[in-house]
Structure 1
Amino acid sequence: MVIDATFWVAISFVIFIGGLVYLKIPQKINEILNKLILDIKNEINESEKLRSEAKILLDNTQSKLDTAQADGQEILEQAKKDGDYLVIEMNDKFHKSSEIKKKLAENKIIQMKDAALKEIKDVSIKIAVESVKKIISTSVNKSKLDGLFDKNLEETKVALKKINS
C-alpha cells in the first residue's frame, strides 16, 4: 500500500468529519436550520393572518362605503323631491296670494267708486239746493218762496229716496 497525499487527505477528511460528529455540529446546524424554518413558518402564518384581517377590514370598509353612497343617493333623491314639492307649494301659495290681493284691490276699487259717486251726488244736491235757494230768494216773494221751498223739498226727498234705492 502506498501512502501518498491523497491518502492523507482522505484520512484528514474522515478525522474532520468525525470531529464534527463528535462535537455534534450537524445536530446544532440542524437545530439552527429547524429554528430558522420554524421562524419563517411563524412569519408566514402571521403574514397570512394579517392579510386575512386586512381583507376583512377592506371588505367592511367597502360595504360601509357602499352603504354611505347609497344613503347619499337616497338623501339626494329625497332632497330633489322635497325641493320640487316646495317649488310647487310656493307657486300655489303665490297664486293664491295674488288672487286674494287681486280681489281685495277690486273690492277697494268698487268701494272707492261707490264713495266717489255718493260724494258727487251729495255735492250735486248741495249745489242744486243752494242754487234753488238763491234763485228763489232773489226772484220770488216770501209766500211763494215758502210754497216753492216745501214743494222742492218734497221733490228732493222723493228723488233722494229713488237714488238710494
Structure 2
Amino acid sequence: MRFLVTALLAATASPALAADYPFVSLRNTDFVVLIAFVIFIGILLYYKVPALVAGMLDKRAANISAELDEAKALREEAMALLASYERKQKDVQLQADRIVAAAKQEATDAASAAKDEIAKSISRRMLAAEELIASAQAAAIKDVRDQAVVVAVAVAKDVLAGQMNAKSAGALIDDAIATVGDKLH
C-alpha cells in the first residue's frame, strides 16, 4: 500500500502537470503510462505477488538461517574434531618420545653388553694365548731336555768308547747278558 501512495505522489509531481493540455487525457503519454502502471500494480496486488515475493524471501531467509545454523554446527564439530586430533597428536608425540627414549636406552644397554662381551672375549683369548705360550714353553723345555739327553748319551758314548778296552768291554757284555738272563727268568 505504501508503494501505491508513493507512486501516486511521484506521479502528481511529474512535469506532465506543467504541460499545456490537460493531464487527464489519452493524448498525454504520462497519463497513459500512469494508468498502465496503476493497472500493473493492481494486477500484482490482485494476484498477491507481494505476498508471494515476501513468502519466497521469508523462505529464502529461513533457508539461509538454517544453512547458517548448520554451518555453525559443522564449525563446532570441526573445532571439536580439531581439538581431538591435536590431543591425539600430543599423545602420539609423547608416545614417540617414549619410544625414542626406550630405543636409546636399549642401544646404550646393548653397547654396554657388547663392550662387556668383547672384554670377556679378549680375556678368554689372552688366557688361551698364555696357555699356548706355556705349552710351547713346556714343549721347548722338553725338546731341550731331549736334545740334552741325546747329547749326553753321545758324549757318554764317546767317553766310554775312549775308556773302553777289550777286557772292560767283555766284562760289560758278560754283565749285560747276566742282567738280561735274570730278567727273562
Shorter-chain TM-score category? 0.7 to 0.9
1:125-158 deviation digits (Å, cap 9, x = unpaired):
11111221122123322453539xx9xxxxxxxx
Q: How does 1:144-159 map to 2 (within 5 A)?
A: 144-145=168-169, 146=172
Letter in 1 for 2:97: Q
1:39-64 deviation digits (Å, cap 9, x = unpaired):
11111012112212211221222122
Q: Which runs of 5+ in 2 are unaligned?
A: 1-10, 13-22, 25-30, 177-185
In our comparison, the structure showing a higher alpha carbon Rg is: 2
Q: Which residue of 2 aligns with 1:135?
A: 159
Q: Which residue of 2 aligns with 1:72?
A: 96
Q: Which residue of 1 aligns with 2:64?
A: 40
Q: Partners of 2:166 and 2:92 in 1: how far apart?
A: 105
Change in CA separation of 1:126 and 1:37 when aligned onto 2, cut-off 3 Å: same
Deviating runs (4+, > 4 A) in structure 1? 11-20
1:76-127 deviation digits (Å, cap 9, x = unpaired):
1001100110111111111111111111111111111111111111111111
Change in CA separation of 1:40 and 1:90 when aligned onto 2, cut-off 3 Å: same
Q: Which residue of 2 aligns with 1:24?
A: 48
Q: Which residue of 1 aligns with 2:120?
A: 96
Q: What is the Cα-based RMSD across aligned positions, in Å?
A: 2.9
Q: Partners of 2:65 and 2:112 in 1: how far apart?
A: 70
Identity of aligned residues (%): 30
Q: Which runs of 5+ in 1 are unaligned?
A: 151-165
Query: Aligned to 2:131, which of 88, 107, 110?
Result: 107
Query: Aligned to 1:52, which of 49, 64, 76?
Result: 76
Q: Partners of 1:110 and 1:142 in 2: how far apart?
A: 49
Q: Partners of 1:37 and 1:57 in 2: how far apart?
A: 29
Change in CA separation of 1:65 and 1:99 when aligned onto 2, cut-off 3 Å: same
1:4-49 deviation digits (Å, cap 9, x = unpaired):
x83979x969877655433312311220111111111111012112
Structure with higher helix content: 1
Letter in 1 for 2:88: K
The higher-RCO structure (CA 8 Å, 6+ apart) is: 2
* TM value normalised by structure 1: 0.74
Tell me how far 1:65 sits from its aligned partner. 1.3
Secondary structure of the residue aligned to 2:71 is: helix
